[in-house]
A and B are shown apart, each in its own frame.
Chain A
């Protein structure tokens, strides 16, 4: 069974740090891009960051650039999110997600599309004094 299990959430003071982990199982972890997505209380889904299969490419939403770092350990089938300089607006449920890849061709060119096809159950981060 394909599964993603997050851990590491909790209550942290503004300006503090926290490291989230995501343990993957049931699939070949190093074949997939992976993402973190968050959801603030009562709000919609917001993509936070993603990382390429070998860790060589990482991308972030502007609001977390310079504060959050995504990483992975393929030997342990694990994904991480190191969060620092935390703010109240970072309060959310954080989901680990797997990205599927679709390749199409048109006019002799290849186009790559990525979409989330597996979600974890989430871990809650609360930033408050």
Chain B
């Protein structure tokens, strides 16, 4: 089964940009992932699915400030023009052999 590795925390200033990383374990570098956002006290929200080619498909209502890209086994979520409401936990997710896997999540702090 794939393992998804995320940094536990990240921080950036209001109005700046931040790039979060989700790394697929060896042998799974071509896999598609999905990014989800979970604001404090709320349910997760689907942001986008992201292929190894960088092709992505954002969910309804997700601002253009959120974008995705890929390089090898790395899947990136870039948030531009950071807003206070972007302070949240961000999870990546994938699926293999009838098992769904989540990364440990990155807690983003907006300074």
Contacts and interface: CB of A to CB of B under 8 A. Distances in A.
A119 B99 contact: no
A75 interface: no
Contacts, number: 65
Interface string B82-102: 000000010101110011111
Given A44-B105, A115-B94, A35 B100 contact: yes
Contacts of B51: 102, 104
Given A45-B91, A50-B100, A59-B98, A116 B46 contact: yes
Given A95-B44, A100-B49, A45 B33 contact: no
Contact of A117 (B32, B59, B101, B104): B59
Interface string B49-76: 1010000000100000000000000000
Nearest to B31: A113
B34 interface: yes
A118 interface: yes
Given A47-B100, A50-B100, A116 B45 contact: no
A116 B34 contact: yes
Interface in A89-129: 95, 100, 102, 104, 113-122
A112 B38 CA distance: 26
Contacts of A100: 49
A45 B51 CA distance: 21
Contacts of B45: 119
A45 B44 contact: yes
B21 to A, nearest CB: 16
Interface of A: 35, 37, 44-47, 50, 57, 59, 61, 95, 100, 102, 104, 113-122
Given A47-B101, A116-B46, 19 more contacts: A44-B102, A44-B103, A44-B104, A45-B105, A47-B99, A61-B99, A95-B43, A102-B32, A102-B49, A104-B51, A113-B95, A114-B95, A115-B32, A115-B49, A115-B95, A116-B93, A117-B34, A120-B43, A121-B43
